[in-house]
Amino acid sequence: MNFEPENWTINKRILVILAHPDDPDFFCGAMLSRWCQQGHEVHYCLLTKGQKGGQDVNINPDQLGELRVLEQEAAAKELGVKSVEFLDYVDGEVIPDLAMRKKIVRVIRKWKPEILVTCDPLNLFPNDSHINHPDHRAAGQVVVDAAFPASGSAMFFPELIRNENLAPHSVEEIWLSATSAGNLSVDLTDYFDSKLRAIHCHRSQIDVPLEQFDAMMRQRFITDPVTNKEVFYEQFRRIKFL
């Protein structure tokens, strides 16, 4: 496992594409906070509005989705994210087909990020007591498929070039969050409180008192074997093309 940070020498444009509101903040909120504070330009694109993120059948899914949009916008502001956009997919119905791939290619070509962040499409069983949400895996799959080879090739979706002036764009790196096969782990202890404040914005998704929730989140700290201090890491699978 590589514990070194990213070692960039200039500021980057970073595009985060995930399935639901709160995914960026739960999956990699500390790293996103770090990047924003370092001056990198971070943007979010979420495939759904999280319309099914609840257990009360009396709640209107569309109203819940609009609430979660506001929560995500507040969380992004907390971290310093520059923009948040939502595509038109329904929570629980994310299928990585060709039409969705084209929409993701459009977003990538529009923002032209150097760094693309999504989640690991291969992470089916994160641990022995959990199954990864199918939307998470589907989002990761469609983003990876859009990033290579489609986004950078003029032969894929040439109508985006002709009709929308969206030239091909190849990203430098893909960072897969929510992975069980990471190759990069970063000490983000100093950014954990920022991550927590962003997650607090998603109040509709927290069904316990905040003090209890924070205590559960702090269980993710580990003891550094060298310093014997409690530290917080976020892990990624980092793919560098250039």
* Per-residue pLDDT, 54: 86
- Tokens for 16? 């985060």
Phi and psi at residue 240, in whole multiples of 5°? -110, 120
* Per-residue pLDDT, 1: 41
pLDDT over 50 (residue 122)? yes
* Per-residue pLDDT, 168: 98
Name residues whose C-beta falls within 8 Å of residue 7's C-beta, 6 or more positions apart in sequence. Answer: none
pLDDT over 90 (residue 20)? yes
**Where is average pLDDT lowest: 25-39, 49-63, 209-223?**
49-63
Q: From the DSSP assignment, how many helices (H) and strands (E) are in the chain? A: 7, 9
Q: Is 173 helix (H, G, I), strand (E, B) or coil?
A: strand
Q: Read off the pLDDT of residues 141-168 as tens digits, 9 standing for 90 and up.
A: 999 999 999 999 999 999 999 999 999 9
- Tokens for 94? 């994310």
- Cα-Cα end-to-end distance for the chain: 21
Name residues whose C-beta falls within 8 Å of residue 47's C-beta, 6 or more positions apart in sequence. Answer: 17, 18, 19, 20, 86, 87, 89, 94, 100, 135, 139
Mean pLDDT, residues 12-17: 98
Mean pLDDT, residues 117-143: 95
Domains and CATH numbers, the chain: 13-240 (3.40.50.10320)
* Per-residue pLDDT, 116: 98
Calculate what percentage of the chain has a pLDDT beyond 90.
90
Which pTM was predicted? Answer: 0.95
Count of other CB atoms within 10 angstroms of residue 99: 9
